[in-house]
Amino acid sequence: MKTNNTAADMQKAIQEECDREEVPYEESEDRWERDEDDGRWDADSDEEPDAEEDEAECSNAEHETHNQEVGRRGECAAARFLERRGFDILERNWKCNAGEADIIARDGQALVFVEVKTRTNVDMGFPEEAVDAAKRARYEKIAAYYLKDYPVVDIPVRFDVVALLVVGSDRALVKHHVNAFSAES
């Protein structure tokens, strides 16, 4: 993932990614509305969040730094984004000795470990650029811990990245990098 610093470079990079078949992802510039009850981003939808756990995790936490709030809201938005696309969210913020997985989900037959990155600007690069070799290696270890106790023995495992770039108080650009990395990366 290369670093781009201008909006024109961002559009060009997005188009290049869309044109490449071997790196599929979905680009979505959904309209995000501010939910007055909890301040989270909520994509246009007639559906209400159905899980009490989602409500608890997505509510404003006391003593949260700005970056923590942006990250938490991004994770909530990413979970809803994936659910709307048919993913079954199994775990959120799952912790083990190797670290924490933002989202663990099923997509058809695949077990998907999802790293969520949210940024409010591109001064430090695009959100997905923060998923470096160390983060990828840590996710592979997290997957190994999770699979140790997972009831299904023979299951395909995938590592996705959902990157959110906040472009306004009520808008975010969401990029879903399917199969963003593997053990060979």
Task: Give the tens place of pLDDT for each residue, 60-80.
Answer: 555 579 889 899 999 999 999
Task: Give the tens place of pLDDT for each residue, 98-114.
Answer: 999 999 999 999 999 99
Q: Output the CA torsion sign for 70, 72, 78, 84.
A: negative
CA distances (Å), 10 to each of 93, 149, 175, in order? 29, 41, 12
- pLDDT at residue 86 in the model: 97
In a domain, 142, yes or no: yes
- pLDDT at residue 36 in the model: 33
In a domain, 1, yes or no: no
In a domain, 75, yes or no: yes
Report the alpha-carbon distance of residue 32 to residue 57 in Å, rounded: 19
Check if the beta carbon of residue 41 is closer than 8 Å to that of residue 170: yes
Count of domains observed in the chain: 1
- Per the structure, the complete domain to which residue 153 belongs is given by 7-181
Report the alpha-carbon distance of residue 162 to residue 121 in Å, rounded: 16
DSSP string, 69-131: HHHHHHHHHHHHHHHHTT-EEEEEEEEETTEEEEEEEEETTEEEEEEEEEES-STT--GGGG-
Residues of the chain where predicted confidence (pLDDT) is lower than 70: 1-63, 183-185
Q: What is the CATH number of the domain that holds 96?
A: 3.40.1350.10
| Burial of 130 (C-beta count, 10 Å sphere; 0-12/13-18/19+) | middle
